[in-house]
Structure formats: C-alpha cells, structure tokens
C-alpha cells in the first residue's frame, strides 16, 4: 500500500466537502456530479488557455458510476454550473495513471 492509497479516502472526502453539485453532460446523458470549480491562475495560462477558462476537479470513481459506459470524461462534453454551461477542453487524471483518483478538467465557455 502506497501513500496515494492512504490519502485517497481523505482527498475524496475533501472534494465532497468543498465541491458543489454540477450537471455533467456526455454521450447524450446528463448526471449530477460533485465538482470543485475555480478560475485558472496566471501561471496556468499557457498554450490555448484563455482568461475566461475555468478548471474543475471531479472524482473519477463517481464519474465511472454516473457514466458506466465510458471510463473517463471526453473533450466537448458539457459541465453546467453557476447558471452557465462550459465545454470540456482538456482532461487529465490525477495521478495520471491507469486508475486516477480525480479528473482535472479545463473548461471553456460560459454560455447559457
């Protein structure tokens, strides 16, 4: 058992505590997930990232339970929060291995 295995339950609890419900739409299905959504810092504005981009953290196990037909989020899925809908632009697992604990999403948009 490694350090990641030891801290995973606490990290998932923290996401549940600090996150808020969002509507995630992918493959024609919409599900409610808990996500922590925040702005992108100046240091993260590289490549095609725009200043209106957001980032979101979701639990990989909760995503798999909500969308059992696909293992991870996909580009162009939608996440609705704060009265706006955002497009998923980039996805990375944390840790970025075969079995991530969280998915970090870069979101773009904000249209209704």
Distance CA 23, CA 21 (A): 7
The answer to whether 102 touches 15, Cβ cutoff 8 Å, is yes
Q: What is the CATH number of the domain that holds 56?
A: 2.40.10
> Cis bond leading into 81, ω under 30°?
no
Count Cβ atoms within 10 A of the Cβ of residue 47 and give its class: 0-12 exposed, 13-18 middle, 19 or more buried: exposed
Task: Identify the domain containing residue 28 by its residue range.
Answer: 3-111
Count Cβ atoms within 10 A of the Cβ of residue 86 and give its class: 0-12 exposed, 13-18 middle, 19 or more buried: buried
The pLDDT value given to residue 89: 92
pTM, full prediction: 0.85
The answer to whether 84 touches 42, Cβ cutoff 8 Å, is no
Residue 3 confidence class, pLDDT cut points 50, 70, 90: confident
The pLDDT value given to residue 49: 53
Distance CA 37, CA 102 (A): 13
20-33 pLDDT tens trace: 999 999 989 999 99
41-88 pLDDT tens trace: 665 555 555 557 899 999 999 999 999 999 899 999 999 998 999 999
If one counts the domains in the chain, the total is 1
């Amino acid at each position: 058992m490694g350090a990641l295995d030891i801290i995973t339950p606490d990290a998932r609890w923290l996401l549940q505590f600090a996150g808020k419900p969002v509507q995630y739409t992918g493959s024609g299905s919409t599900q409610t997930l808990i996500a922590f959504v925040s702005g992108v810092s100046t240091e993260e504005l590289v490549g095609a990232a725009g200043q209106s981009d957001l980032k979101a953290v979701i639990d990989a196990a909760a995503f798999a339970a909500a969308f059992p037909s696909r293992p991870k989020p996909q580009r162009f899925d939608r996440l609705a929060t704060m009265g706006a809908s955002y497009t998923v632009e980039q996805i990375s697992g944390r840790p970025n291995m075969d079995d991530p604990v969280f998915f970090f999403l870069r979101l773009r948009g904000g249209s209704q």
